[in-house]
Amino acid sequence: MPGGWAIRKRVERGVIMRCEQRCEHCTLNLHGESPRVHHIKPLEDGGAHTLANLIVLCPNCSWKLKNGDIDQATLKQIIDEKELENTRINNLAAREIDEWFISLDNTVIYLV
């Protein structure tokens, strides 16, 4: 991937900001949880490492997705609607999100 690590971290930071600390599928508050960042369309199927193709899920929704109980089209629709109102991201309390991201960075973001 061109740009490698820096671009990857920037995209992950963007998706973490967009989720507003909630599962983007069931809206569970992710404080105290280990969020999973999924590619909606898997990379091996030609999916891109972009905000439009990434979704933050709680452990339960992550499991459901892997198990086939949530389909790609449902997740794509959620993210397409969010990306339409993407400018909201600029209005978030940046410091609070930064602190959350840093604390996440010290734990694990599961990128699957």
Chain residues that interact with Zn ion, rule: CB under 5 A: 23, 25-26, 28, 58, 61
Closest of 34, 38, 55 to residue 100, by C-alpha: 34
The residue among 2 and 68 lying less far from Zn ion, judged by its C-beta, is: 68
Find the shortest distance in angstroms from Cβ 24 to Zn ion.
Answer: 8
Find the shortest distance in angstroms from Cβ 66 to Zn ion.
Answer: 13
The residue among 10 and 74 lying less far from Zn ion, judged by its C-beta, is: 74
Q: Which amino acid is at 47?
A: G
